[in-house]
Amino acid sequence: MTRLSHLDIPFFDDLHREQAASLDAWCAQHLGSVDHADTDAACRHLVTMLGEAGHLRWCVPAAHGGALPGLDSRALVVARETLARHDGLADFAFAMQGLGTGAVTLAGSAEVQARVLPRVARGQWISAFALSEPQAGSDVAAMACSARDDGDHWVLDGQKTWISNGGIADVYCVFARTLGADGQPLGGPGAKPTAAISAFVVEAGTPGLEIAERIDVIAPHPLARLRFDGCRIPKGQILGQPGEGFKLAMRTLDIFRASVAAAALGFARRALDEAIAHAKSRRMFGQTLAEFQLTQAALGEMASAIDAAALLTYRAAWLRDVKGVRTTREAAMAKMCATENAHRVIDRALQMHGGLGVRVGSVVESLYREIRALRIYEGATEVQQLIVGRDVLGSG
């Protein structure tokens, strides 16, 4: 069975299989030489490499240099699963090019799309998605960052935190509570808190935008806290209509949440490969580790957990692309199960390696740090449980 045989199922087309084979070959040839000592520099380099090789074309529509007419969830899933299996930071670099401009693709004006999307597809600009705040992570309704109507401009004030690519991005998709010229939120006192949220494109270097803090996390990703202080942006840089930001954020996450699950699959598949190779070569008590029934049982459980998560992930992407239905519930199921299952698989692989598994720089040690972050990114497991539970009850 070849590495890519798991794509030989009806959820995918020949286009996706060709994409996977091409990207897998490219990763094997190019990613091993990338120096990860400086995370910012490595991320910039990876974006440039991916853009020059044409792999970022899957993140934008064909009208602006993309590979397909619109965003294709299956193509995103294929790309992230393949990249994550090879290099976690390469997956991160790809993912943020898509997530950071997903809202631009969905609701940006023709002028904004023409300025942003081709540069992102070519790897010339790095993008970021700025939704979370110090007191408004999963609770988006608590958002405090504001955008005040001031004639020909919007004036942004407030903070964003845990922003991936913060500090190195060229363009940010920023969500803020929209205020009228009188300083009152859109919709009036009785409106839902999310009814006043809008989305805006803010380019790096805009006066009033500053990097307040760089944040180091368990996985080596560039993150930061942003501060907006009287940051003036032209009226045309709003995405969609005022007050549509919350729905736009959820639509964007619905598309990319399945790709988070795919990244977890890539990490888990690499961990299983490492565990199998180690089990076959490690000798103890007169036989290989693979000859012990405990090892065989563990590997069987790991493989089954990966396949179960894969089917949920592929289903979510297929339903959106082929059936054209909303996949909030299915994407949440996929993200929840894939990240949790991958964590168990990687933990088991690390345990199987013994002391070698906890050595800094080993493959399974790096995978352990990468997957721990994915269980929180783009909605923690508990948030996915709530999404599914509410939908099951008919209140979602």
In 3-state terms the chain splits into helix, strand, coil percentages (rounded to 5) of 60, 15, 25
- In this structure, is the dihedral angle defined by the CA atoms of residues 221, 225, 229 and 231, taken in order, positive or negative? positive
The two structure tokens encoding residue 210: 């500053």
**Phi/psi zone of residue 243: left (φ > 0), alpha (ψ -120 to 50 degrees), beta?**
left
CA distances from residue 255 to 73, 96, 283, 335 in whole angstroms, order as listed: 6, 13, 45, 12
Distance CA 170, CA 118 (A): 13
* Longest CA–CA separation in the chain, Å: 80
Cβ-based neighbours of 71, under 8 Å, separated by 6 or more: 59, 60, 61, 98, 102, 105, 255
Strands (E), 253-358: 283-284, 287-288
Rg over alpha carbons for the chain, rounded to the nearest Å, is 21
Distance CA 312, CA 138 (A): 23
CA distances from residue 44 to 49, 120, 378 in whole angstroms, order as listed: 9, 12, 22
CA dihedral 238→138→379→164, nearest 10 degrees, is 50
Q: Which of 81, 133, 378, 382 is catalytic?
A: 378
**Does the annotation count 382 as an active-site position?**
no
Select from 285, 108, 131 the least CA-distant residue to 194.
Answer: 131
Q: Provide the annotated active-site residues.
A: 378
